[in-house]
Amino acid sequence: MYPGYRGSKRKDKYPFTLLTKEIMEAFKAEAQTSGKARLLLTDAVAAYIHYDRVGHEKAEVSQYLNFISVMTLDFSTGIHRVTGHNRPLYDGQNMYRNIDYILKYWRDQGTPGEKILVTFLTYGNTYSLKTNKTGVGAPVSKGGEPGPYSSRRGFMAYKDVCTFLKSATKQMIEDQKIPYAVKGNQWLGYDEHS
């Protein structure tokens, strides 16, 4: 949800908090009446700082949510003209577009850390390189070629990533603590979960 954004007015932040409170109260009442466990109330929120500055009343709405899933994805995509990882852990290219910054931002705005969830991706963003440069910030001509299992330029599904990595050169973006791989003129930003 993006209260205060995407056609919604800034003043919609407060009614969204009230709606969240009313839903939680209804969940509690239903649990009391039914004798069953109370339902969980969560929200998936954008990780882009311009959404967040106009969006939720973070401290207030977090009182009524069990969890807040921060969608830490697509910080860089095929629409950009240079390579960049879709979910850097730390600052490297843009101080606002990394997981570390956005989680601290939510926490500093009053959201308890134990309520914040981080999304993990099973896909990768790809680019077609324009030159022989292969690092972060290398010029690109367009989104990368689709993998054998997906049909979307600039995107590879998990199975595509696994296939690509078998014959690609893997690198690490040291300051962002995240990997990428190159094969020919194709650049792939992906996650390694260990």
Helix (H, G, I), strand (E, B) or coil at 187: strand
CATH code for position 175: 3.10.50.10
Give the start-end residues of each E strand in the chain. Answer: 42-46, 67-71, 116-118, 124-129, 140-143, 155-156, 169-173, 178-183, 186-189
Residue 31, domain extent: 10-118
pLDDT score for 95: 61
The tens digit of pLDDT for each residue in 79-92 reads 568 887 777 777 66
Residues 72 and 91 in one domain: yes
Q: Which residues pair with 173 in a beta bridge?
A: 178
Asked whether residue 153 falls in the same domain as residue 60, the answer is no
Ordered per-residue pLDDT tens for the chain, 194 residues: 566 556 666 677 788 899 999 999 999 999 999 999 999 999 988 776 655 555 678 889 999 999 998 877 666 655 568 887 777 777 666 566 678 888 888 899 899 999 999 887 788 889 999 999 998 888 999 989 988 898 889 889 999 999 999 999 999 888 878 889 999 999 998 887 64
Co-location of 50 and 84 in the same domain: yes
State whether 20 and 99 are in the same domain.
yes
> Is-contact 144 128, C-beta < 8 A?
yes
Question: Is residue 4 situated within a structural domain?
Answer: no
- What is the number of domains present in the chain? 2
